[in-house]
Structure 1
Amino acid sequence: MEEQCAKAFSEFTEVVRRLRKECPWDSTQTHESLKPCLVNETQEVLEAIDILNAGGNGDNLCEELGDVLLSVVLHSVIAEEEGLFTMEDVIAGVSEKMKFRHPRIFSPQDEEICSLSWEELKKREKARRKKR
């Protein structure tokens, strides 16, 4: 399953990279020009959740989450082109953040860090980022 997901994600990222090279619309987009798209797609996810809660089957939510994923990948590909960061940086960063913010799951042996509140963990995380 993990291999299939990794393969699908890699193929999707390559689709986005190709669109950036060959599609007249995608190739001209910037972080700034895509801001309204991300807001719109996020709103559509919220609406899809409402549909699901009203008895929908989840198809709409699946589609809208795909559109948000497209936005994330597109922004990441643009950032990579600009030399800012890579998709791997995005994934590694959020993975590291979730591990740090959930010490009871990922570092249960560290009693000191496990005793911290969510807000205290976020403060420490910000302090760690400033040191980099």
Structure 2
Amino acid sequence: MKERKLILPLPTIPSQSEFFEMMSIKPGGLAAQLVQDVYKVLFIYSVDLKAEYRRYYSVEYDQFSDYLKLCHGVRMPEADENQTYILHVGRLPQMLDSEQGGTYLKPVMAALRNWRSSHEA
């Protein structure tokens, strides 16, 4: 199966309570348990490609964009590249993965876009 890439360029990482709020989820319920798993996959278990680049690859690749293109097959607009965090989500949970019947990715991405635009400098 082909690995699906989900790259999240963000100015900062939302707290879990911010994520619940942007997704209109009340803490403590079943929905909160499910969305907490989504939060962990997106923001805790993901790899920050910028940090990885600075730590391991900046000597090998002069430009972050070259590292993204050659190591991850990713090209992105300069505005996205300039975000503080570039998160790579390696495996989508079922509720996000459309290939597994998930339908929650579009609402999550829309909420993150709105949140990002309100948090950019």
Same fold (TM over 0.5): no
Q: Which has the larger radius of gyration?
A: 1
Normalized per residue, the structure richer in helix is: 1
Normalized per residue, the structure richer in strand is: 2
Q: TM-score by structure 2 length?
A: 0.32
**Higher normalized contact order (CA 8 Å, seq sep 6+, divided by chain length):** 2
